[in-house]
A and B are shown apart, each in its own frame.
Chain A
Amino acid sequence: MSFTKTVTRNSIKKLFNEKWQLAMFLIIPIMMGGLFSLISGPGGQPKPIGTLLITDNDDSILSQLLIGGFGQGPMAEMFISKKVTSVDGQKIMGDGEASVWLEIEKGFAQNYLDNKPTTIKLVKNPSQNILPQIAETAVNLLADGGHYVQVLFSNELQQFNNLISGNSVSDAQIAVMSVQIKNTIENLENQLFPAQIKAVKKKTETIVKKTNSKSFMYYMFPGILFMSLLFSSQGVALEFWSDKSQGISRRLLSSPSGLTQYLNGKLIASIFVYALIALIIGSLGLLMLQLPLSNILVIIFWLMLSGLVLGSMMLFVSLLMPSQKSASVVTSAMVFPLMMLGGSFFPFDTMPKWMAAIGQFLPNGYLLHSFNQWFIHDIALASLLVPAGLALLFIVIMWFVNKSLLPKFARS
């Protein structure tokens, strides 16, 4: 037992001596996860940001309402609006430093209320494709919307025009105007949104709300943890080769403690590594995702268990290799497909179904998928019991297999 403790202590000390290796276990997965999240945006969808120049020569309530439309909702997430004069707008667009320039002519509101033609000038940056088109579509929609409002509410607009041009309007007229608008909207609502469509829409909204409530980072986070586990389990397996190259394992054959205690010591040290990874990356992730820090206990337990599974598997492959170089190459060749298919690069929820089905049969994929059931899909923690049992069984079997392989490995 004492020797097992010594092996554990030495292995942990060596890990901290090799700071770059430890950093690799932690930084690469965090970096990759961070980059993926940045690319995908916090909500999971890519959102380009463009500059929208606005020149409001009318400066009326109506023109301000129009401009306000670009400063709210999804448009606000895509465009940074900037008010400019006509001269500045022309210059900035000439320099290609904005996506779109919107110029509202003087008298825009009055012309609209008088049911006369009016102009909104839209200048697009030809070097950009998507954002100017989105802006153009938005302006077209506003123009169409404005036209329909003119058709449907011509009387009300006329009354409103009188109101703002100083003609007196009685309370009764305002009440009539309100009732007319309400009736028109209700009539239109029945035509445009019949009951069946309404019901389906409600259901869709519920689903969309549920899935969109978790960011892309939320889906990536378990994958990042497992990516780190894969790197570290490979490192743990290659440690045996490092010791062999230094003559340690061979000499141990002549000692009474032998290789079993050595194997146990190494495995205990590896559990420490997995727990450390879970603690560091797990805590960071929970803080970023604003989740309860008490979840860290489950994360640490699951990563220790999963790490032992992956470490045992990597060790098995490593022990079968004829040289340190072969072991390094083969385990590296295993790590990347396992990451890709096993849900570490791309969350299972974003994978094609056939690929996710394959990935969930891989050891890391199975363990990650099981973890996701609790972490992402909010299924009860008890759902992890069966996978945990299977993982333990796998670890025990692999312990016996690796124990029987070690003497031959040490002698060769």
Chain B
Amino acid sequence: MIEVKQLSKTFGTFIAVDKIDFIAKSGEIFGLLGPNGAGKSTTINCISGLINASEGSISINGFNISTDTIKAKQSLGLVPQELALYEDLSAHENLLFWGSAYGLEGDKLEKRIQQVLTDVGLENRQKEDVKQFSGGMKRRLNFACAILHKPAALLLDEPTVGVDPQSREHLMNAIVELKKAGTAVIYTTHYMEEAERLCDNLAIIDQGKIIASGTVNDLRSQVGERDLITLNGHFENTDNQSHIKDLNAEILEFSNEELRFLIADASTRLTEVLNIVEKHYGKVINVSIQQANLESLFIKLTGRALRDAA
């Protein structure tokens, strides 16, 4: 279990993380969602001991990272956002290196190496130098290095960035297996579909603060069963939003270039919506409909799209 209480991290006057609390239980995948720069990686770095927290406490498997540092680190696996591999050594040699960094040696280490290589589908490439690997294979090896010592808690910082579909699938399956084995997993991402697929509990983080948390269903319910419609064009008369509100829509943005609102059954009611908009506000150039998901929740909470927010 990973327990974070009132965690804050400041860099000079800049507050990167602002008094956040959450718990990732054993056998659970806890998702930290947010745009780039929201504070996800800073949170992960504090938990893993890469940087020291300014305030608050962190315990991993019951060990406080500040006072029981060695035991806490022994219980933790970290898959950093950037690769941490020796390019000019083989996959096997990299695993030997990281395994011994966590105190494994001898036959035990060799057995674990073979196991994790199988888990990530690299057992036939273990003698090759890492520099010959594709980006996805490197990501899989990076992941394998973190789980060699069977950590009680695992931190995954954007593990699928730049990963091909085959490698992504390998990683997703391996993470699910770890969860089944009882590992507490913290998973940061800005890919909503990954979070929805994997995470049992989620916290949406923006500008260093948790702005929403709960299960995927809890969070979805905050959006309702409504879809997100985004219209682009040249609009006038935007001070008067009553024509849209009459459609039982929740307006998120209403500017001269973009109208964005949540509405039930968007696809069947699209003609009606377009007629009203063109009649009262102006010409529509582009239309997009997004089904209710975490992305629309993020937009509802912050007024910005996740990918735009960076």
Contact = CB atoms under 8 A, between A and B. Distances in A.
A2 B50 contact: no
B101 A257 contact: yes
A286 B80 CA distance: 51
B96 A246 contact: no
A255 B73 CA distance: 6
Contacts of B76: 254
Contact of A256 (B51, B70, B97): B70
A18 interface: yes
B55 interface: no
Contacts of B54: none
Interface in A241-282: 243, 246-248, 250-257
Contact of A253 (B49, B83, B100): B49
A14 interface: yes
Contacts of B71: 256
A256 B84 contact: no
A246 B85 contact: yes
Interface stretch (B16-24, B87-95, B181-189, B240-248): B87-95
B102 A251 contact: no
B48 interface: yes
A100 B245 CA distance: 113
A20 interface: no
B89 A247 contact: no
Contacts of A251: 78, 80, 84
A247 B50 contact: no
A247 B84 contact: yes
Contact of B100 (A3, A246, A247, A248): A3
Contacts of A256: 70-71, 73-74, 101-103
Contacts of A6: 96-97, 100-101
Contacts of A2: 100, 103, 105
A56 B143 CA distance: 89
Interface string A223-257: 00000000000000000000100111011111111
A13 interface: yes
B84 A248 contact: yes
B50 A254 contact: yes
A132 B102 CA distance: 77
A246 B87 contact: yes
A248 B105 CA distance: 19
A252 B86 CA distance: 13
Contact of A14 (B50, B86, B105): B86
Contacts of B177: none
A255 B89 CA distance: 20
Nearest to A14: B88
A17 interface: yes
B258 interface: no
B82 interface: yes
Residue of A6, A247, A254, A411 with most chain B CB atoms under a 10 A cut-off: A254
Given A6-B96, A247-B80, A411-B50, A257 B86 contact: no
Interface in A1-18: 2-3, 5-7, 10, 13-14, 17-18
Given A256-B73, A411-B50, A250 B84 contact: yes
In this complex, the interface size class of chain B, counting residues with CB under 8 Å from chain A, is: 20 to 34
A313 to B, nearest CB: 26
Contacts of B48: 253-254
B50 A246 contact: no
A250 B41 CA distance: 14
A257 B50 contact: no
B70 A10 contact: no
A248 B78 contact: no
A254 B97 contact: no
Contacts of A17: 88-89
Contact of A246 (B74, B78, B83, B98): B83
A27 to B, nearest CB: 21
Contact of B93 (A10, A248, A253, A411): A10
B93 A255 contact: no
Interface in B74-127: 74, 76, 78, 80, 82-89, 93, 96-98, 100-103, 105
B262 to A, nearest CB: 41
A250 B101 contact: no
Contacts of A3: 100-101, 103
Nearest to B75: A256
Contact of B73 (A5, A14, A246, A254): A254
A246 B130 CA distance: 12
Interface in A159-202: none
Contact of A18 (B74, B83, B88): B88
Given A248-B84, A250-B80, A251-B80, A257 B89 contact: no
Contacts of B49: 253-254
Contacts of A254: 48-50, 73, 76, 78
Contacts of B105: 2
A5 B99 CA distance: 12
Given A246-B83, A246-B86, A257-B101, 5 more contacts: A3-B101, A247-B80, A254-B73, A256-B101, A257-B100
Q: Which 7 residue pairs spanning A and B have beta carbons closest together?
A: A247-B84, A251-B84, A254-B48, A6-B100, A255-B101, A256-B73, A254-B78
27 contacts: A2-B100, A3-B100, A3-B103, A5-B100, A10-B97, A14-B86, A14-B89, A17-B88, A243-B86, A247-B82, A247-B85, A250-B50, A250-B82, A251-B78, A251-B84, A253-B50, A254-B76, A255-B73, A255-B98, A255-B101, A256-B73, A256-B74, A256-B103, A257-B100, A257-B102, A257-B103, A411-B51
Interface of B: 48-51, 70-71, 73-74, 76, 78, 80, 82-89, 93, 96-98, 100-103, 105
